[in-house]
Amino acid sequence: MSLKRRPRAAEERAVHGVLADCEGISGGARVAWVILPPLLVLLWAALGYLLLRRTRDEDKLIIASVLGISLLGSLGVIAALSGNDSGNHVDYATPLIVSGLACIFLAALLGVALRRHVYRLSGAALLGSLAPPGAAILYLIWILALNGTCLG
């Protein structure tokens, strides 16, 4: 009597999903997925530097405050949505988009009221709103690539 293990149905076929395509991923593609997230973080930092470059110190404080407030607003939306344990599908994108657009609009209004830096304030609000969800997605991609999990 032989006790051979029969392969399960999940082991017989390749996994396909949002970030998964396990058939034929080369080492070069995996390295690209490891390198891409840090490069995007550097791009985000460079854009932040460009926003603060050649501005007066009091204006730098205003721009950095708008960046921080929009970042905290985005984190607040993520924290408010993450407590749903009902098992129902939660739409994360719509509240993040609405809060990001509200931050950008309010930053533009602040720039109009101050009569300066409308575009820089709006850009700071955009960078702050995109940072938490973008960082979470980049972290997921980076960890999957470092662990050797399927990416496609």
Report yes or no on 126 lying in a domain: yes
Report yes or no on 5 lying in a domain: no
Low-confidence ranges of the chain (pLDDT < 50): 10-18
Report yes or no on 54 lying in a domain: yes
Alpha-carbon distance of 75 to 77, in angstroms, equals 5
pLDDT of residue 15: 46
Report yes or no on 14 lying in a domain: no
pLDDT of residue 17: 47
pLDDT of residue 123: 93
Report yes or no on 129 lying in a domain: yes
Report yes or no on 100 lying in a domain: yes
Record the pTM.
0.73
Domain count, the chain: 1
pLDDT digits (tens, 9 = 90+) for 45-82: 999 899 888 888 888 999 999 999 999 999 988 888 77
Residue numbers of the domain that contains 101: 21-82+91-147
